[in-house]
Amino acid sequence: MSLFQPDANMFERLETQDSAEIIARPSLSYWQDAWVRLKKNTRAIISLNIIILLAIFTLIGPLLWQVDPALQDLNQVSQPPAMPKSALVVDPFRGWEGITIDNYEPPADYADSVPAPTNVRAEGTATTQAVRIAWDQVPGADGYNVYRNVREPTSFADLGLPLGATYGDELSYEDRLSLEARDYYYSIVPTDGLDEYEVFTQLVVTPKLAITRDEALERGLIDSLDAVNIGDEVTIEFHPLGTDYLGRDMLARLMEGARVSLFIGIVAPLLYVLVGIIYGGFAGYIGGRFDVLLMRFADFVVALPFLLFMILFKIAFGIGPGESGIIPMLIALVLLMWPATARLVRGQVLQIREEGYIEAARLLGAKNHYLIMRHIIPNTMGVILVTLTFAVPAAIFTEAFLSFIGMGVAPPTPSWGSMCNEGVKTMLSHPHELFFPALFISITVLAFNLLGDGLTEALDSKMRSRD
Amino acid sequence: MRRITVILTCLFIQLTDGTALASPVDFENQTITVAITQEPPQMNSAKATDQVSGLVLGHLMEGLVRYDRRGRLEPGVAERWEMTDEKATFYLRKNALWSDGKPVTAHDFVFAWQTALKPVTASEYSFIFFPIKNAQQINNGELPADKLGAVALDDHTLEVTLERPTAYFIKLTAFNTFFPIREDFFNSKGDKYAANADDLLYNGAFIMTEWKHSASLKMVKNPNYWNKDEITLNAINVDYITADTRARLNLYTDGKIAFTRLDGETYKDALSQRFRIRRFTTGSVFFIEYNHRPEKVTSNLNLRKAIQHVFDPDEMVNRVLAVPGNLRGESIFPVWLNGVEDKFRREYPAPMARYSVATAQQYLDRAREELGGEIPPLVLLVSDSPTATKQGEYMQGLMLNKLGLDVKIDVQTFKQRLAKMTSGDFDMVGAGWGPDFDDIMTFGDLMASWNLNNRGRYNNPAYDRLVQIAMNSTDPKTRMDAMGQAQQILFDDAAVLPQYEQGIIYVLHPKVKGVVRRVVGADPDYTHAKVVP
Amino acid sequence: MLMYTLKRLLAGVITVWFIATATFIAMHQVPGDPLMNDKAVSPEIRANLEAKYGLDKPVTTQYFIFLSNMLKGDFGISFTQQNRKVNDIIRDHFPVSATLGVLAIFFAATGGVLFGALTAVYRNQMPDVVIMFLVILGISVPSFVFAALGQLMLVNINSFFGYSVIPVAGWGTIWHMLMPSLVLGLTTMALLTRLMRSSMLEVVNEDYIKTAKAKGLSPTRIFFRHQLRNAILPVITVLGPQIAAITTGGFVVELVFAIPGLGRYFVQAVQQLDYTVIMGTTVFYGAFLVFMVIVVDILYGFIDPRVRLS
């Protein structure tokens, strides 16, 4: 067994190098690395795309769907999403004298009971402009009540809307109350001038959707008055997402409302969370008396009555009538909402400050700004992002709540929050007025949450090692 | 397993609310349960100004006279009365008692009225006593309270000397502020008077036995009420206080309350539940008040005329408000006001502008000439209620589309709106007026130059003169003629833009009968209601 | 410890005084005043009113009167509820709001911690996805919609059973409180779930967890002793202000469910410019909030010994 005997000739001297061989992947800064990991996160990318789509909807949408969000169409109030409709062209409305009895003598005494009205009929063509109902006199009655229902009445207690009452000498009623092109069940009930007799006669009428030539011209449905004749049909405005309580186009209003809601919902939280981070970061990092003082000031701001100061800011910034008042609302939100984030960040910083790696970095000579940028902020990012994603809907709803009590954006400027507010009142009869703004808020919130998740994972330095 | 389910179910039932098959009405005990919209802010009758307090007080107290269900005067504490141009004498019934059993005397009325007039009480409604001799001077602190022209001749005779002939004085005495207050009780309570259920003394059909602030109150039949035989209900429980219409409809649907008002948003839900819906016109008039101060463009007659010719009250009522019961606004005098023999508006029909965009444009052109060029954006001041905002948006759209006029809506909360109205910081403002008493004068002097409620400072000496005539005369024909002319002047000047007479719809439990809706006084009035089987 | 608490309390008193002063100044800057009403009153009646409420004096005098009364614990008489003392209003209605708020916080905190921990444990699995979807729903639907829906749900439940299972509105028994407090706590619960989840995920990778694992501690023990205890910190931080927000911010819920809470009084007071009620409630809530913050800070020290109380 011979041993290998090395000698110097077997080796060759290596040339001197300035640096050692690099065995590493390309060095990435913290933020570059975060971006790489964010791009790998499918959910974050989807949410980014949704946010881009929302931006397109808000900024480019109005160019494609050029409908005035403030234009009212009282012929189509609270219409659900539907296909384009056509309307009958009619003469301008002229009042109806109705049918009255000359030399009417009221009954001498209140009768115990009277027969049901007879010959209840619709006079003329029933259109959404007016439905004219007439009937024959009921002996013994000194007045009539007129009811209208959208379903066939099942009993005397179920006659529907009490439209109005007539005196004993009036044997007709002209109904113009928000008529739609659908079946109506009219009922005529005789009265003694005050109380009803429990009899009624029913009539079913289906008015036709009507528009006058002037209206059609005004709305740009026809080019000139001569383009259509009375009795023709014209196609009326199309509202893909339906209309609101004044017949305004929902799609156009959602686009317009997006500007307010997204602006308030994104810019305000970004600003006040930023203020909170800086404030809380400083307080937590520097600590001591300075921290105590700053935190007491934060407590002070938290306890200020929000509503009162909102009114005050509105006045202080000189919001004139008609101005939307978005900027003052933004400033007020930023000025009053930052303390929560500040407290949160401070708490985190206090905790991180005591961590071993900070100590180590400091021993290695790390400067303050390096510690803050490199260690403290990245480590608080998770909590901050969660706060931020929650601040988005919170800001949108604060705006809605302010609209609710009359301190929000000035009408007719819509916002998603105020549209929700209007919609919740009619959520059973016109669900689309609540559904669409709520849907858009949900999509926005969802997008920001997913993005927040993605960012949390991407920015979390502790997760770096696991890729 | 099955046994466990049964036990669990039992437990569940045991633990839950337990009021099986709740009903808001009880035939056996003649009890009804209702909700009100807010906590009554002021139960001291000398100081109450709002409707909710008026509603509760109307059941608990009784004045000298009261209104019957058809709105006619009927005796209250006063059995009968005499009235001349200078004097009114009331003869009080001997069996009218306070809830502690002591008789209601003429002194109690004198004390109540003096209290309301004393400057230290600071009652906002003290002006309603001003037809009584010396009342205004007492309120201004120029005369002591005992100089009031209301004297108790004896315990049961009250003599009122009037400052000037007042045709409607008897009707006034049905109003809250004229209710009696007993001196010894009032003084014994001091600051706490009317703060809680036992800090009040009652002389009406009901007494309040329980008042949990903002939560509930309970009114039970007053055993000492002189007319108790006519009262069927044993108790009215106000179990819920909320301004949210939908919440109240939910309570009604759930069988918790017997009555609730509906609005344009909720009535469709009530319809789909197949509830019987009723209609009532409240008697209040809503209108756009213009700012007539000379520096404002709305002081220009032609501009106001232009707006008058494009505003269609029919569309307002049918398409914007879209709730039955509202009537077209044609005049500041509502249709229910009595004239000489028939209704005022039947005797003196309101003049109406014929809707015409072309005519309006002519007026507008003239206005532009007079104002020297383009008309700046008009500021429309509205309150922050959803209905007011909606109406504002409608007016804004109308004036833009029909006249090309730019309108800016200024939504303000209650006090800020009042501050702006008072200082004249508006061009147009959405306003409303409800009646205090059943006489044309409750609306008649609204636009008089001296009336502080005329916040647009409309000033027309001819109109003022007519108001003076109607105020100082007791002859119905003279008064109504004057008001008829005043109505014409207001129309010619387009002084205000009447929009609608308010109507409301409501649901009422089918077993409750005899609930009275009133234009003047406590509304709804359950005093003579009863539960039928 | 005692010194620290005392110091904090003293600072709290000063904070409250600042709040009172700022609110007083702000309130008097807002146009309009509590004496204005729909029907205009003559200058003489107006003078009577001003004299009665002391508004005829200069604002600085009013401020000092307010301060001296506040020191005596008297906030005066409400302008809108004209026969009631502000103290009585707070005494009668704060307990209601507080009960509602405590219950809401209870729902929110238990739900938030539980769901948050659950989502972290089952990260990216079914329970996580489902809960996070519900959380999104919880924060993207405004409270007035939840309140309306919640009440409607009760109506439907009751009509289904033909029997009043849970009262639709009102106040009194525990059954009245269930739905309103759930609605009120929902958003906070969603917030806490999210916070708890991200905080749990961060803690999982900490060295002390690894050490504990390496030392062979049982997973349950690690979960409760180390993970949960550390993760709960940020939750507690936001809880303080959230408690205040919930006990003051119940306006919508109080309105819809006809609850006699203080939230309704406060919003109404601001709208009606009821000076005395605004001052009373602001000072009271301010003090309450500052106190809550102090309590949370002290709690913080107990839970996390690393955070030294100076």
Could you tell me which chains touch chain B, where touching means 3 or more CB pairs under 8 A? A, C
Look up residue C139 and give its two tokens. 């924060």
Instruction: Give the total residue count for chain A.
Output: 467
In chain A, residues under CATH classification 2.60.40.10 are: 89-211
Residue C93: CATH number of its domain: 1.10.3720.10
- Chain B residue nearest residue C29, CA to CA: B416
One-letter amino acid at B392 equals G
Tokens 């439209």 belong to A163
Task: With CB atoms and an 8 Å threshold, state whether C158 touches B124.
Answer: no
B344: number of Cβ within 10 Å = 23
Of A75, A79, A107, the closest CA to residue A90 belongs to A75
- Measured CA to CA, the distance from residue B408 to residue B399 in angstroms comes to 11
Looking at the domain assignment, is residue C99 inside a domain? Answer: yes
- The full DSSP string for B147-177 is GSSEEEEETTEEEEEBSS--TTHHHHTTSGG
pLDDT confidence of residue B45:
92
Q: Are B239 and B257 in contact (CB under 8 A)?
A: yes
- A166 bridge partner residues: A144
- Choose the mutation target among C164, C178, C259, C264 for the interface with B, i.e. most B CBs under 10 Å: C164
Render pLDDT for A18-39 as a digit per residue (tens, 0 to 9): 766 666 666 666 677 777 777 7
- At B1-42, the pLDDT tens digits run 344 444 444 434 444 444 444 688 889 899 999 999 988 988
Instruction: Find out whether C261 and C252 touch, Cβ atoms under 8 Å.
Output: no
Measure the CA–CA gap between A243 and A241, rounded to whole angstroms: 7
Distances in whole angstroms, Cα of residue B409 to Cα of each of A170, B3, B381, B456, B499: 41, 66, 6, 17, 17
Domain around C242: 86-274
User: Is residue C124 domain-resident?
Assistant: yes
Q: Which strands make up the sheet holding A143-149, listed edge to edge?
A: A161-167, A143-149, A184-190, A201-205
Verify whether the Cβ–Cβ distance B139 to C48 is below 8 Å: yes
CATH class of the domain whose range is B25-37+205-276+510-531: alpha beta
Over residues B243-275, the pLDDT tens digits come to 888 889 999 998 889 999 998 888 888 888 888
C306–A354: do the CB atoms touch at under 8 Å? yes
pLDDT band at residue C247 under the 50/70/90 scheme: low
434-453 of B, contacting C, C-beta below 8 A: 451-453
In percent, the amount of chain B with pLDDT more than 70 equals 96
Under CATH, what is the fold of the domain A89-211?
A: Immunoglobulin-like (2.60.40)
Please tell me the predicted confidence (pLDDT) of residue A463. 52
Among residues of chain B, what percentage have pLDDT more than 90? 59
Mean pLDDT of the region A249-258: 91
Instruction: Please indicate if any CB of chain A lies within 8 Å of the CB of C191.
Output: yes
Question: C291 contacts in A (CB within 8 Å)?
Answer: none
Residues of chain B with C-beta less than 8 angstroms from the C-beta of C258:
35, 215, 240-242, 244, 247, 251
Q: Which amino acid is at B106?
A: A
Nearest to B509, CA basis, from B59, B58, B32: B32
* Count of structural domains, chain C: 1
Place of tokens 């807010």: B38
Give domain B62-189's CATH superfamily.
Dipeptide-binding Protein; Domain 1 (3.90.76.10)
Give the side-chain half-sphere CA count within 13 A for B131.
20
Q: Whole-angstrom Cα distance, residue C263 to residue C250?
A: 6
- Closest CA of chain C from B43, distance in Å: 8
Cβ–Cβ pairs < 8 A, chains A and B? 116
Q: Where are the domains of chain B?
A: 25-37+205-276+510-531, 62-189, 283-503
pLDDT for residue C83 is more than 50? yes
Specify the length of chain B in residues.
533
| Spatial contact of A153 and A199, defined as CB atoms under 8 Å apart | no
The reply to whether C106 falls in a domain is yes
Share of chain A above pLDDT 90, in %: 11
pLDDT recorded at residue C130: 87
Mean pLDDT of C127-147: 81
From chain A, the residues in CB contact with C23 under 8 A are 304-305, 308
Taking chain A, what is the end-to-end CA distance rounded to the nearest angstrom? 50
CA dihedral B154, B160, B161, B167 (to 10 degrees): -150
pLDDT score for B387: 81
Beta-carbon separation of C141 and A442 below 8 A: yes
Query: Is C188 part of a structural domain of the chain?
Result: yes
pLDDT in tens, A426-450: 888 888 888 898 888 888 878 887 7
Q: Which residue of B has its CA nearest to A422?
A: B386
Neighbors of chain C by Cβ distance (3+ pairs < 8 Å): A, B
Q: Does B126 touch chain C (CB under 8 A)?
A: yes
Write the residue in A162, A323, A425 that is nearest to B324 by C-beta.
A162
Q: Does C38 fall in a domain? A: no
- Looking at chain A, which residue has its C-alpha nearest residue C303? A351
pLDDT at B7: 40
> Would you state the pLDDT for residue A404?
65
pLDDT in tens, chain B (533 residues): 344 444 444 434 444 444 444 688 889 899 999 999 988 988 999 988 888 999 999 999 999 999 887 778 899 999 999 999 899 999 999 999 999 999 999 999 999 999 999 988 888 888 899 999 999 999 888 999 999 999 999 999 999 999 988 888 999 999 999 999 999 999 998 888 998 999 999 999 999 999 998 889 999 999 999 999 999 999 999 999 988 888 899 999 988 899 999 988 888 888 888 888 998 889 899 999 999 999 999 999 999 999 999 999 988 999 888 888 899 999 999 999 999 988 899 899 999 888 888 999 999 999 999 998 888 999 999 887 778 888 998 999 899 988 999 998 888 878 888 888 888 889 999 998 999 888 999 999 899 998 888 999 999 999 999 999 998 888 999 999 999 999 999 999 999 999 999 998 999 999 998 899 888 888 899 999 999 98
pTM confidence score: 0.86
How many CB pairs below 8 Å do chains B and C form together?
171
Encoded amino acid at C279, one letter = M
Residue C102 lies in a domain: yes
Q: Search chain C and give the residue with CA nearest A405.
A: C271
Window 229-288 of C, Cβ < 8 Å to A: 233-234, 237-238, 240-241, 244, 252, 266-267, 270-271, 278, 281-282, 285-286
Asked if the structure places residue C66 within a domain, the reply is: no
Architecture of domain B283-503: Roll (3.10)
Task: Kindly state the tokens that stand for B206.
Answer: 């009901």
Q: For chain A, give every residue range classified as CATH 1.10.3720.10.
A: 43-69+246-463
Q: Please provide the CATH number assigned to the domain covering A43-69+246-463.
A: 1.10.3720.10
Mean pLDDT of chain A: 82
What are the pLDDT digits (tens) for A264-319?
A: 888 988 998 899 888 988 888 787 888 888 888 888 887 777 777 777 776 666 66
